[in-house]
Amino acid sequence: PHMAETIDGRALARSIDEQTKAEVEALVAAGHNRPGLTVILVGDDPASDVYVRHKVKACDRVGMRSTEHRLPASTTQEELLALIDRVNASEHVHGILVQVPLPGHIDERAVIDAIDPAKDVDGFHPVNVGRLSTGTGGIWPCTPHGCIKLLQSVEPDVEGLDALVIGRSNIVGKPVAMMLTALGCTVTIAHSKTRDLPGKARQADIIVAATGIPEMVKGDWVKEGAIVIDVGITRIEGKDGKDRLVGDVAFEEVQHARAVTPVPGGVGPMTIAMLLANTVQAALSG
């Protein structure tokens, strides 16, 4: 029987990293400061610590400078905002990333708003959100942009296709829907209040699932030949008692699709690749 193409996010991320690396060296050769990313971590959340280390390592891999600011959990909002002012002003810093979650006494929105939009490589600043929604450039958020790259790796021309985005969060669902709209898709945004989600899914040429509900997208939700991008990552206990990662899509059931991203190895690896690409973009325009 026909098998869906498994879209290899690790391979695509590697090829984007190679391109980023070449762009870094081209900038340096042209006399530009070496592109640099600053990562700010407040507190000692172990998961955040792992993410930050991955991001710093990734910078090394593509020849980018990186600086880490590790602040104690007791850091005040004023102290954090003062640090952001300093890195906003530094000509060696092209990208600024504040690792979330922040401790409860700090207002996340105020912190994101304080980042220079031109250095906001997460793409969460309202200026960048506005740029995306008005189709006027800006820095695009990493995970949604990674979804688009994966989609375009199997179908470069998505104009006119019907897309269903499941999830309406500010960090994934909404921005991915804006990007698909900009590319000419007809987009439906579904969420927990949506009626007849399976019926809507069956009409879609493209499904982007970003809910965090393990394997919610079943085989009979997916029309023959559709392209399925699975953003969800949930850790569940497998039959053997060991933890495993599952996506929002019942991967084995959707093999009649044209292509589907696996979990892990699909959207996940793309996020850091897009972060590095955004930092080079920021350096180019800065």
Contact residues toward ligand NDP (CB under 6 A) are 143, 166-169, 171-173, 190-194, 197, 210-213, 231-234, 267-268, 271
Of 274, 285, 20, 284, the C-alpha closest to 123 is 274
CB 151, min distance to ligand NDP, A: 14
| Bridge partners for 189 per DSSP | 165
Residue type at 64 in one-letter notation: M
Q: Has 168 been labeled as part of a binding site?
A: yes
Coil, strand, or helix at residue 266?
coil
On the 0-12 / 13-18 / 19+ scale of CB atoms within 10 A, 219 is: middle
Q: Which residues are catalytic?
A: 55, 99, 122
Of 145, 152, 137, 122, the C-alpha closest to 270 is 145
Phi-psi category of residue 215: left, alpha or beta, with phi > 0 → left and psi -120 to 50 → alpha: left
Q: Has 167 been labeled as part of a binding site?
A: yes
Contact 253, 171 (CB under 8 A): no
CB 1, min distance to ligand NDP, A: 29
Nearer to ligand NDP, 72 or 198 (CB): 198
Nearer to ligand NDP, 20 or 75 (CB): 20
Count each helix (H run) and each strand (E run) in the chain, helices first.
9, 11
Q: Has 233 been labeled as part of a binding site?
A: yes
**Binding residue ranges for NADP(+):** 167-169, 233
Residues tagged in the binding site annotation: 167-169, 233
